[in-house]
């Protein structure tokens, strides 16, 4: 295009162009004609009604319909049923709907949140996992729904599933839902940590090297507690220093080095523990953390080809060794061994086998034990 034609081209930024449009509009809409408003006839009303029904979704009604289908599926499916594509689609749609904060509350108002909670006990693992996902979406950063979940005993049963469910995908998703349900909601956090043996549940999941997804969820929530509830965490560690030993073991045996997120996350957790309280750091020293870290460092530094994971771990291990060796000597803290732990209700804690690793787990409350008729 020539410079001449460019100069002659009209510009939408020219105020005179908008003035011309205004003048044209006023010329043909000068207000001299009366408006032809009249009541809608029945045909127009029917068309408008049909249009809104077809084009505008009644979201509460849709959620009611979807959960009802899941309830029907629960009556039909068994533990050995193949994965159902319709269930997958329904769960995805419910997650999409309840991601809107008003809809998550509406799910409770139409009394279908209770139905979703009931699906946690389904014999079908696909429905249990889906129920966890929906609960996580409804409760995340939503205090009113967190309170509803607490009233429906969601916290204890999710904790139960995180330990005992036979399906590793469900155990991981239960931790995800648990995190959403309790995080930044003090009553639920207190229940989980002080009455539910919650810190030990998280450490157990963190040390289950066969379930990477569960480890990441456990890491996220454990770090949250160390940073926001240091006193609660300190009390747990002083009572049961074995939880520190379990975390240390995953570093020493190299269980984390194949996943950079887990490797870095575990070391971040140990650094956060060391920084959270001098007594907690002293427990780490008592549990022989320094020589264990030094042994691990020697093995890593001997690698001829150090990849990113190894370099990250070396740097963070050096930070930990430096922090712990700089501690002034303190008296050893008197701790109670795990074998003599007592339940919060006064009864002696009972050791039970979990599906996660098959090793003993201390159930400190009745709701942590496998009850008659439970699916997990």
pLDDT value for 52: 64
pLDDT value for 361: 42
pLDDT value for 65: 97
pLDDT < 70 stretches in the chain: 1-21, 24, 26-37, 51-56, 253-257, 328-376
Tell me the C-alpha distance between 185 and 106, whole Å: 20
Tell me the C-alpha distance between 206 and 259, whole Å: 13
pLDDT value for 31: 61
pLDDT value for 233: 87
pLDDT value for 309: 78
> CB count, 10 Å around CB of 305?
5
Q: Under a CB-based contact definition with an 8 Å cutoff, are residues 176 and 217 in contact? A: yes
337: left (phi over 0), alpha (psi -120 to 50) or beta: beta
Tell me the C-alpha distance between 190 and 199, whole Å: 11
Q: Which helix (H) or strand (E) holds 351?
A: strand 350-353
> CB count, 10 Å around CB of 332?
10
Q: Under a CB-based contact definition with an 8 Å cutoff, are residues 235 and 282 in contact? A: no
pLDDT value for 371: 47
């Amino acid at each position: 295009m020539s410079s001449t034609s460019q100069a002659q081209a009209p510009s939408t930024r020219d105020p005179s162009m908008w003035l011309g449009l205004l003048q044209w509009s006023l010329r043909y809409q000068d207000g001299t004609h009366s408006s032809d408003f009249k009541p809608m006839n029945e045909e127009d009303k029917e068309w408008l009604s049909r249009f809104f029904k077809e084009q505008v979704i009644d979201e509460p009604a849709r959620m009611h319909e979807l959960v009802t289908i899941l309830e029907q599926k629960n009556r039909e499916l068994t533990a050995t049923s193949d994965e159902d594509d319709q269930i997958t689609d329904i769960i995805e749609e419910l997650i999409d709907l309840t991601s809107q904060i008003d809809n998550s509350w509406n799910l409770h108002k139409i009394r279908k949140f209770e139905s979703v909670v009931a699906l946690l006990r389904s014999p079908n693992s696909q429905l249990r996992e889906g129920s966890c996902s929906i609960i996580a979406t409804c409760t995340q950063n939503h205090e009113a729904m967190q309170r509803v979940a607490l009233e429906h005993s969601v916290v204890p049963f999710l904790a139960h599933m995180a330990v005992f469910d036979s399906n590793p995908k469900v155990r991981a998703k239960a931790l995800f839902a648990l995190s959403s349900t309790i995080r930044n909601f003090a009553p639920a956090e207190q229940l989980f940590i002080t009455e539910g043996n919650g810190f030990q549940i998280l450490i157990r999941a963190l040390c289950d090297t066969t379930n990477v997804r569960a480890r990441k969820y456990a890491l996220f929530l454990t770090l949250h507690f160390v940073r926001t509830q240091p006193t609660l965490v300190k009390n747990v560690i002083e009572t049961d220093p074995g939880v520190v030993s379990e975390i240390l073991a995953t570093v020493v045996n190299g269980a984390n080095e194949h996943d950079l997120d887990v490797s870095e996350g575990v070391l971040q957790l140990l650094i956060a523990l060391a920084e959270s309280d001098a007594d907690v750091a002293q427990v780490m020293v008592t549990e022989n953390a320094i020589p264990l870290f030094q042994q691990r460092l020697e093995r890593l530094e001997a690698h001829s080809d150090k990849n990113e994971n190894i370099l990250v771990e070396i740097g963070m291990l050096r930070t930990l060794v430096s922090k712990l060796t700089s501690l002034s000597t303190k008296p050893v803290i008197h701790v109670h061994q795990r074998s003599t732990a007592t339940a919060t209700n006064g009864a002696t804690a009972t050791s039970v086998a979990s599906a996660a690793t098959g090793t003993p787990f201390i159930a400190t409350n009745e709701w942590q034990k496998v009850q008659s008729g439970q699916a997990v």
